[in-house]
Amino acid sequence: MDGEPLGAKYGGAEEDICYTGADMTGTLTLQVPDHRTLSAGADARRDLPPNIYLCSDNPASAPLEAVASEALLEGMIGIWAEAAILGTWRQPIRDYAEMYRTMLSDEEIEGSLLASALMESLERGDPAVSRQALLDLSEIPSSTFSREVRDDLVPHAEAIAGAIADPLTRDAAIRLLRRLGTEAADALPAIIEALDDDNPEVRYEATGALVSISPDAKIVPHLVDALHDPAPDVRRMGAMGLVELGGDAVDAVPALIDALGDDDQDVSRLSFEALAAIGPGAVDAVPALIDALGDSDWHVCERSLEALKAIGADAMDAVPAIISLMDTATFGNSIVRHTVFETLEAITGEDLDDDVNAWQEWARTGAPVPAATFAPSPESNN
List the chain domain ranges: 1-72, 92-213
Q: Please state at what angle helix 334-348 crosses helix 356-365, rounded to 10 degrees.
A: 40
Residue range 103-162, pLDDT digits in tens = 555 544 456 677 777 887 787 777 888 888 888 788 777 766 777 778 888 888 888 999
In angstroms, rounded to a whole number, what is the distance separating the alpha carbons of residues 370 and 368? 7
Mean pLDDT for the chain overall: 78
pTM: 0.72
Residue 353 scores a pLDDT above 60:
yes
Three-state secondary structure readout of 341-356: HHHHHHHHCCCCCCCH
128 phi, psi to nearest 5 deg? -65, -45
More confident residue, 244 or 47: 244
DSSP per-residue string spanning 48-64: --TTEE--SSSPPPPPH
How is domain 92-213 classified at the CATH fold level? Leucine-rich Repeat Variant (1.25.10)
The radius of gyration of the chain's CA atoms, rounded to the nearest angstrom, is 31
Whether residue 137 contacts residue 115, with contact meaning beta carbons closer than 8 Å, is answered with no
Confidence at residue 80, expressed as pLDDT on a 0 to 100 scale: 59
| Cα 286 to the center of its chain, rounded Å | 31
**What percent of the chain is predicted at pLDDT more than 70?**
65
Residue range 15-74, pLDDT digits in tens = 444 444 444 455 656 666 666 666 655 544 444 444 444 443 433 444 445 555 555 555
Confidence at residue 97, expressed as pLDDT on a 0 to 100 scale: 53
Whether residue 46 contacts residue 113, with contact meaning beta carbons closer than 8 Å, is answered with no
Confidence at residue 150, expressed as pLDDT on a 0 to 100 scale: 83
**DSSP character for 141?**
-
> In which element (H, E) is residue 29 found?
strand 27-30
Q: What is the mean pLDDT of residues 343-372?
A: 80
